[in-house]
Structure 1
Amino acid sequence: MNDLRTTHLVASVLLGYPDERLYGARAVLSDAVAGLPVGEARSLLTAFLRHVENTVPGELARHYVETFDLKRRCCLYLTYYAYGDTRKRGGALLRFKHAMREAGFEPADGELPDHLAVVCELSGRGAVQQALRLLREHRAGLELLRTALEEERSPYADVVGAVSATLPPAGARERAAALRLAAEGPPAEEVGLEPYTVTEASQ
């Protein structure tokens, strides 16, 4: 369980915007990954940290923005894949919000609770079962994100792959759901909607 928490906590840092805090924490992150058992997650995180070591900070930051902010198919918000910007997404976001509230965890800086880095941090801080449940519920979206990053030849595919490696192998239903999402894309609301709105009134 400690190895799982370490994997998720490292992933949560690596999936955040790559500012000076990331570069300042490279040694700590590398030591944490080196302490993990030999396996897929350790190998993938090591590969990404090696990429960070060999990449100019500004270049990595530019890639992060171009990938996650400008490419809809590379979205770090897990509920987006299943619900797009429809009203149903509000209910899905509340499940994340309630899970985090039960764990006494509050996302920093007003970040939405379905951001993959936030869910990984939830696990890293001890609420492993809650985080795993959320990740499994949105496994299709997670797999679609990983596939999209691989097709973009993004090093961030390694980090998402490390998170996927901590979950049971995707079943036939999850693979089918990922293929359907890839073919159809997220649903669209037919009437006006304020995107990403989550309020208690939605309960």
Structure 2
Amino acid sequence: MKTLKVLAILLSYPEESVQANTEDLIEVLKEENLLPKKTLKDLLVFIDEYKNEDFLALQERFVSTFDRSRNHCLNLFEHIHGESRDRGQAMVDLTDMYASKGLFINKKELPDYLPLFLEYLSLCEAEEAKESLGDSIDIIALIGGHLKKNKSPYKAIFIALEELSKIKVNKFRVAEAIKNSPKEPETLDELDELWKEQEAFSGETSECNTCEDDASLN
């Protein structure tokens, strides 16, 4: 599912090479045609803005969106385990799962980093990828819900992920988690304190178990 790879790229820290080649991303989305028309239209608007935005402003928008807000954090286990020891074991299990399929992380990212996970799923068979995406879809919808609440254009990517999931979002659970989330920090000290707060969800996620291609994540 190359569409998942496109979403992973758009959700990663902006690179000039990506901004200069957005037409390639659009071509993949249209060729696979996996998204509903409205979802695709909104995503194309996001890509058009991505293409035409000042590059430094694009990078700053990414940092302010994802690095300065726990509610928008792209590390999935942060929303489940927080800083508990369970998170460490979950990281090891996820890394071992990648390695068992011949996939090795060669970026300086944690294994639960959403763009990395999406890139992995893009190598899986379509049905398996959709099912595995569904295992984490409530967490993904939680992040997307916060982005929507804060009127972030990145919400379009998360709506697309919900559409691709084989499992539907538990809207009540997600709404409750958003309602009970702490307010966004206004200072760096508040940001540090926020990261110490309790996780939004309890429980575990399951990941993709079937992947045909042997390749490194990059």
TM range (shorter): 0.7 to 0.9
> What's the RMSD between the two structures over aligned residues?
2.3
Q: Summarize the alignment of residues 24-63 of structure 1 with structure 2, pairs less than 5 Å apart.
A: 24-37=20-33, 39=36, 40-63=38-61
Taking structure 2 as the reference length, what is the TM-score of the superposition?
0.74
Q: Which residue in the other structure is 1:187 paired with? A: 198
Q: CA deviation at 1:35?
A: 1.5
Q: Which runs of 5+ in 2 are unaligned?
A: 183-196, 200-218
- What is the alpha-carbon distance in structure 2 between the residues aligned to residue 130 and residue 96 of structure 1? 16
Question: Counterpart of 1:140 in structure 2: which amino acid?
Answer: D
Q: CA deviation at 1:107?
A: 2.5
Question: Counterpart of 2:73 in structure 1: which amino acid?
Answer: C
Query: More helix by proportion, 1 or 2?
Result: 1
- What is the alpha-carbon distance in structure 1 between the residues aligned to residue 146 and residue 4 of structure 2? 21
Q: Which runs of 5+ in 1 are unaligned?
A: 189-203
Q: CA deviation at 1:165?
A: 1.0
Q: CA deviation at 1:128?
A: 5.1
What is the aligned residue count? 182
Q: CA deviation at 1:166?
A: 0.3
Q: Summarize the alignment of residues 1-203 of structure 1 with structure 2, pairs less than 5 Å apart.
A: 5-37=1-33, 39=36, 40-126=38-124, 131-132=129-130, 134-171=132-169, 174-182=170-178, 183=180, 187=198
- What is the alpha-carbon distance in structure 1 between the residues aligned to residue 83 and residue 132 of structure 2? 19
Question: Counterpart of 2:147 in structure 1: which amino acid?
Answer: L
- What is the alpha-carbon distance in structure 1 between the residues aligned to residue 50 and residue 65 of structure 2? 16
- What is the alpha-carbon distance in structure 2 between the residues aligned to residue 92 and residue 176 of structure 1? 26
Q: CA deviation at 1:75?
A: 0.7
Aligned 8 A contact 2:74 2:114 in 1: yes
Aligned 8 A contact 1:83 1:89 in 2: yes
> For each residue in 1:60-118, what CA deviation from the matched residue of structure 2 results, as whole angstroms up to 9, or x when unmatched?
11110001000110011111111111111112223322321222212231311111101
Aligned 8 A contact 1:81 1:181 in 2: no
Change (3 A) 1:187 1:12: same
Taking structure 1 as the reference length, what is the TM-score of the superposition?
0.79
Q: CA deviation at 1:150?
A: 0.8
Aligned 8 A contact 2:20 2:51 in 1: no
